[in-house]
Amino acid sequence: MCRASSTPLFTPHPGHGAAVSVSANTLWEARGGQRPMGPRTRCFQTRPLPLHPGRVPASSSSSSSSSSLAGPHHRRAPSPQRCGRAVGQGTAPLSRPLGGALLLRSRRSAPTALSPAVSVVFPGSVSRESCCRFACELLKHVLHQRQQLPLPYEQLSESGPSPIFFTYVIKKPSSVGLASKKCQQVLVELEGVFQQLEVMFSLTLVPRVLILLGGNAVSPKELYELNLEGICVGSAEKSLKTTSCVRKLFHSLFIADVFSELKALPVTGTVVMLQGHRNCGAEWFRPKLNYKVPTRGRKLTINLSCDGDVDTSASAPQTLTSAWEDYIWFQAPVTLKGFHE
């Protein structure tokens, strides 16, 4: 306890650094108030009293006293050298001072690529049947990975849409019949698409296949492209086995891990499109003469090519066709509607 006076209030303790000498008048003026009349006892600690954030010390008798009385909102801005490196030497730009302190603005991380690509090279020629199998298996895989099918296609087709099977898939008994009907409808539509893909691959060379999820064919939410332009098409006897090629394709997709970081997708429609010769005689697929591949949305491109021991009779699509203008887009007339239950 000490009496308010103009004499120093603190005396240094031996061995504890320099003394902090502040008079009571300076303290009252710094806090913006008037000195009370008459003596008043007050206990002051050795730490300087914080100032109100909106008040500025009125007394400027000495810079030492003003700096010692400044609160946390009136601290001196640190120099760039104390922050690490000097300004202009590879550091991030300085943001607007907040409370008198300069803050380094964090660098924005580079945006994630919205169009990843996976390349698969087969050590030999591939038959048309294998190319059709690639498209069908990729469609099954995308529907399951993007939550349009509750189970893989093989499990749904083998188990069948029986009510006993769906009692283990869903928890509400009242929805068993509805889920069974949805599953039966999806399986029938998928089987029809697979059959028409086989017909299309037998009629013409198919350099590209598109799987469009969400939205519409012009502006989908997600786009999966199977690029077969680098495939060397050969006869079934002199080409690689289909099972080994499918295994290599999905091994590359598993290593790339392109589906793990995606958010869950609600039930939506899926459209299948492919390129073929304009005079191929396709009846089920509808031609889209002026269609252009969408540029918006997330896109995954799977590039397939052949290398190594390729049969001399096998030819890539780009060498068989003199002009790509003769190839147009065809759209499946069925929109596949997935289900969650």
* Complete domains list, the chain, with CATH: 1-10+21-58 (no CATH), 117-337 (3.30.900.20)
More confident residue, 213 or 4: 213
Place of tokens 């013409």: 204
Over residues 220-231, the pLDDT tens digits come to 999 999 999 999
Measured distance CA(144)–CA(177) in Å, rounded: 21
Place of tokens 């690529």: 113
pLDDT the model gives residue 182 = 85
Amino acid at 57: P
CB atoms within 10 A of CB 234: 22
Over residues 154-200, the pLDDT tens digits come to 998 876 544 444 444 444 555 555 667 888 899 999 999 999 999 99
pLDDT the model gives residue 181 = 84
Does the model's pTM come out above 0.85? no
Asked whether residue 103 carries a pLDDT value surpassing 90, the answer given is: no
pLDDT the model gives residue 180 = 78
Mean pLDDT, range 63-83, rounded to an integer: 49
Measured distance CA(199)–CA(192) in Å, rounded: 11
Asked whether residue 36 carries a pLDDT value surpassing 70, the answer given is: no
Mean pLDDT, range 247-264, rounded to an integer: 91
Instruction: Determine the length of the chain.
Output: 341
Measured distance CA(59)–CA(69) in Å, rounded: 11
Query: Among positive and negative, which fits the CA dihedral 17, 21, 26, 28?
Result: positive
Measured distance CA(163)–CA(178) in Å, rounded: 10
